[in-house]
Amino acid sequence: MRLGIPREVKPFENRVAMTPNGVRRLIDAGASVFVERGAGRNAGFSDVDYRKAGAALVSTARAAWSVDLVLKVKEPQPGEYRFFHSDLILFTFLHLAANQRLARELEKKKVRAIAYELVRDDAGQFPILAPMSEIAGCLAALVGANYLRRDLGGKGTLLSAIGSGGTGHVTILGAGHVGRNALRIAHGLGATVTVFDRNQDKLEKLSLEYPERFQSLSDPEDLPEIMKRTDLLVGAVLNPGQAAPQIVTKKMVQRMEPGSVIVDVAIDQGGCIETSRPTTIKNPVFSKYGILHYGVTNIPSLVPRTATEALSRATLPYVLKMVKEGSSRVS
């Protein structure tokens, strides 16, 4: 099987689909791997690293796409649609619920596309989405805490208690991988954290794990009141393959104090907060009703080395299986 790894072209996407070590494993399994020059540079992997691993370096995106299987990180951008062909298998994050144009293009060109975020294991878990969600959750808490700084437009609140003073308040929507890791970091920073989720079992487990500075909510009717004392709101709701439900309305956002911060990690799937919209790493925030909104659609790209290594570990078993079984067995 011929595999291609093109350079990511989504603005400020710094990850690459496979590490050199992963490429070596694929070649040892019988694949021919073609890596576009510069594909791994921003993640800390040089062209020399890929050449030493046995990959062939190609100078154009078209050459990296003219293969049986393309490995990417983010969804193809409009400029890449011209590379689609009917013999192509595409393995990447797609988030088609928020991108109907891409869905139509894939269907029109008869591309066999496999979305990372929809791959389930035998236990019903999402093994490729999980590590990126963990990274996004950690960064959501860190980024949000940073934007509470006054010089960045925030209200000037430190999440940690100082002396006998109170702590900052973080509200997290969702107790999945993103939410649990946002909780871990926010609680570790010293904040009081409220987690909203409809799953009582998840909330009970978190209550046992965090006996102090933790509150759980399962009734949406309680959200408007909790917004009044929320310094940082993290949107971490996921419905696999579907648009994210809008849990927080603009009226709830208006209840927040000016200078509070919203980080909507669900923005890839349309966002779970009514006032959210996609932003970029270059221009990450905007203000609405005096509240800073962070809607970067590729948060793990902030730590591309860690994210690439985690993504490569997660996808490699599936790619190896495809290489061994051949493209005709991939449906």
The answer to whether residues 41 and 63 belong to one domain is yes
The answer to whether residues 189 and 249 belong to one domain is yes
The answer to whether residues 186 and 48 belong to one domain is no
Dihedral sign (CA 91, 94, 96, 100): negative
Region 16-28: mean pLDDT is 98
Question: For 305-321, what is each residue's pLDDT tens digit?
Answer: 999 999 999 999 999 99
Q: What confidence tier does 238 reach under pLDDT thresholds 50, 70, 90?
A: confident
- Report if residue 80 sits inside a domain: yes
Dihedral sign (CA 220, 138, 131, 311): positive
pLDDT tops 70 at residue 35: yes
pLDDT at 327 (0 to 100) = 59
Instruction: Please answer whether residues 212 and 240 qualify as being in contact, where contact means their C-beta atoms are separated by less than 8 angstroms.
Output: no
Note if 264 is an active site residue: no
pLDDT at 163 (0 to 100) = 87
pLDDT at 244 (0 to 100) = 87
Question: For 57-83, what is each residue's pLDDT tens digit?
Answer: 999 999 999 999 999 999 999 999 999
Q: What confidence tier does 142 reach under pLDDT thresholds 50, 70, 90?
A: very high
pLDDT at 106 (0 to 100) = 97
Q: What confidence tier does 241 reach under pLDDT thresholds 50, 70, 90?
A: confident
Structure tokens at 221: 């009717």
- Report if residue 124 sits inside a domain: no
The answer to whether residues 144 and 275 belong to one domain is yes
Q: In what order do the strands lie in the sheet with 285-288?
A: 214-217, 192-196, 169-173, 232-235, 261-264, 291-294, 285-288
pLDDT tops 60 at residue 115: yes
The answer to whether residues 152 and 293 belong to one domain is yes
CA–CA dist 87, 85 (Å, integer)? 6
Note if 268 is an active site residue: yes
- Report if residue 266 sits inside a domain: yes
CA–CA dist 235, 229 (Å, integer)? 16
Rg, the chain, Cα only: 21
Amino acid at 327: S
CA–CA dist 89, 73 (Å, integer)? 14
The answer to whether residues 308 and 293 belong to one domain is no
Q: Per the structure, how many domains does the chain have?
A: 2
Q: What confidence tier does 33 reach under pLDDT thresholds 50, 70, 90?
A: very high
| Structural domain that includes position 207 | 129-297
Catalytic choice (95, 169, 177, 293): 95
Region 210-234: mean pLDDT is 96
pLDDT at 214 (0 to 100) = 97
The answer to whether residues 141 and 283 belong to one domain is yes
Question: For 285-302, what is each residue's pLDDT tens digit?
Answer: 999 999 999 999 999 999
The answer to whether residues 8 and 49 belong to one domain is yes
The answer to whether residues 266 and 310 belong to one domain is no
The answer to whether residues 84 and 139 belong to one domain is no
Instruction: Please list the residues that pair with 263 across neighbouring strands.
Output: 234, 294
The CATH code of the domain that includes 68 is 3.40.50.720
- Report if residue 162 sits inside a domain: yes
Q: What confidence tier does 329 reach under pLDDT thresholds 50, 70, 90?
A: low
Dihedral sign (CA 46, 49, 53, 56): positive
The answer to whether residues 101 and 204 belong to one domain is no
Amino acid at 192: T
pTM recorded for the entire structure: 0.92
- Report if residue 123 sits inside a domain: no
Q: What proportion of the chain, given as a percentage, has pLDDT over 90? A: 92
Catalytic choice (68, 231, 264, 268): 268
